[in-house]
Amino acid sequence: MGCHLIDIPFKALGLKYPTDVECSVGTIFTKMWSPDYYPEGCPSSSSVSIHFDATDINPSPIQMTWSDGGIKPFHPDLLPADVSIESNGVIMIGDKGVITCDAYGEDPKLYRVGEPVLEGKSERVNEPEFGHQRKWVDACKAGFNSPEHLALTSSFDYSGPLTETVLMGNIAIRSYMLREQVEGSRNPSFIGRKKLLWDGNKMQIKNLEAANQFVTRNYRAGWELT
């Protein structure tokens, strides 16, 4: 669901590449005092914090927080206490109000102190069969910055940084389980449990080389990316 939820603040605030990511994950104990170690699998729950620089639309740096596995955010001050926070949705917190919506941006609401709640309206667009695939092909043929390209709602220049943001959370979670044995100690050192600094242009983690193994892969001959 990451892309379907993160797409909403990404588009509304004009976000680009993230600058850093940090996470915390749930721990499972099947034995006394010894947490289970499953580096290949997903954790039972996680909370991820990602930062972005200011954009043309939003003049202030932004923090995005993702949570899953039953972890829900607390009520921000500007959201009325009797408003239920659902398990699948988005909360955008500003200085003067809060916007909430469900997945895919449905059922948007604006809450402001002392003001009535504003409920947004959305309209469904009925595309012909294979309509959005056809638009994508037409944009590829017309080229970058063509009217066909600019009319797309999720072209590569938009969806690339968006997808990298989702994957940054996965990199943080996988790095969280990286460990090295320390000489003279029976307990390993978890080297990835820190804020990871991201260089979007170079596509690499700047402060933990071991985390870069999760950024890309070794491709088979004939299948390399150029």
Whether the model clears a pTM of 0.85, i.e. scores above it, the answer is yes
Q: What is the pLDDT of residue 185?
A: 81
50: which residues sit within 8 A by CB, 6+ positions away?
Answer: 18, 20, 21, 63, 64, 65, 66, 165, 168, 169
Per-residue model confidence as pLDDT tens digits over 135-188: 999 999 999 999 999 998 888 889 989 999 999 999 999 999 999 888 878 888
How large is the average pLDDT for residues 113-117? 89
Give the residue from 143, 164, 137, 115 showing the smallest Cα distance to 15: 164
Q: What is the pLDDT of residue 128?
A: 76
Place of tokens 């469904």: 124
Predicted confidence band of residue 34 (pLDDT cuts 50, 70, 90): confident
Position 2 pLDDT exceeds 90: no
Domains and CATH numbers, the chain: 2-123+130-214 (3.30.360)
